[in-house]
Amino acid sequence: MRAALPSEPELRSFASAAAQLLIERLPRASGARAGSRRAGIGLQHFDHRDYAPGDEVRHIDWRQTARRLRPILRRFESESVTDWTLVLDASSSMAVQDAAKWQSAVQMAAALSYALLQLGHRVGLLVFGERVLAQVARGRAQHHYAAIARVLAALQPARRGERSALGVCAQHLHGAASVFVIGDFLAHDEMRRDLGAMAARCTTLHVMQLHDAAETALSEGGDVDLEDVETGARMPVRADAHASRLASGERAAMTQRLRSFCNRSAVAFTDWDIAQPWQHTLLGHLVQARSRC
């Protein structure tokens, strides 16, 4: 099932709410590269937008104003923005339960990229399974959102056979100051080793772990075979309330191991129950990240 992107009003509303949480995220580690493009006071032209009351009249582009028959303002570059890479899990575990986790991940990635581009950050996208399944090179300005949106709208995770291998993304980061990983982390060691490799290649690492309560609810009675949709491995179990509690407990234990790793490594971490709105979850994560990273 292909994911639906957030509507334009949803994107604008979130970008407005998140703006103060996403500006001026300067790198603090040596070797990380910050971008230098954001609308502000500077010398180099950035883009155009409609004139609004209170804007500097001296920045009106009279040629564009005459062409469009309304006041158009020049915007200029300023410093203090960074390069971001959004990393999205498209392994087969993201396709279960009618791809509910995948649809949620796509909405969050789309909204975050839109908000970052509004502020002048450069944003890129990596989608992974066993390999990099799709990539959008980092770019800037609002027209770049269309390129990211096209990829997100076209992709869907394979229902079986696509494993999680986050490590394949590390070599594609190329000095991104901030990396934001969205996935369920249902893999060997919760991908902690791969996250460690990624943390060494960026200044700020964000982890958004998705979970769906329906995944651990075994509704059928009697003996059943559970199949790992990524590896094909099968396990016989007796589906009852006890088995559901065990599954929920193991899922919680995996999350705790990942949370502890992130806390030790100064990685911003959020465990997202996808029954909760992505807007509130993402804003809460960004608030936490501002205080930790």
Closest CA to 80 of 120, 124, 36, 21: 36
pLDDT of residue 47: 66
Average pLDDT, the chain: 86
Q: What is the pTM of this model?
A: 0.80
pLDDT of residue 99: 94
Instruction: Report how far residue 238's alpha carbon sits from residue 188's, in angstroms, rounded to the nearest whole number.
Output: 24
pLDDT above 90 (res 210): yes
Q: How far apart are the first and last CA of the chain?
A: 35
Mark residue 80 as left, alpha or beta (left: phi above 0; alpha: psi -120 to 50; beta: remaining).
left
pLDDT of residue 233: 87
Place of tokens 């996935």: 183
Six token digits for residue 115? 């908000």
- Residue 57's φ and ψ, nearest 5 degrees, are -65, -30
pLDDT of residue 1: 60
What residues have CB less than 8 Å from 58, skipping those under 6 apart?
Answer: none
Summarize the confidence of residues 175-189 as an average pLDDT.
91
pLDDT in tens, 45-68: 556 778 877 677 887 889 999 999
Counting Cα atoms < 13 Å in the Cβ hemisphere of 11 gives 21
What is the CB neighbour count within 10 angstroms for residue 217? 14
pLDDT in tens, 126-135: 999 999 999 9
Domain spans of the chain, in order of start: 8-15+80-292, 39-78
Instruction: Report how far residue 126's alpha carbon sits from residue 66's, in angstroms, rounded to the nearest whole number.
Output: 41
Instruction: Report how far residue 61's alpha carbon sits from residue 74's, in angstroms, rounded to the nearest whole number.
Output: 6
Q: Say if strands 39-50 and 72-77 run parallel, antiparallel, or are unpaired.
A: antiparallel
Closest CA to 200 of 185, 184, 183, 179: 179
Give, to the nearest 10 degrees, the angle between helix 278-292 and helix 96-118. 60
Instruction: Report how far residue 130's alpha carbon sits from residue 21's, in angstroms, rounded to the nearest whole number.
Output: 33
pLDDT in tens, 84-93: 999 999 999 9
Closest CA to 255 of 181, 186, 195, 165: 186
CA 155 to chain centre: 15
Q: 8-15+80-292: which CATH number, 3.30.56.10, 3.40.50.410, 2.60.40.1120, 3.20.10.10?
A: 3.40.50.410
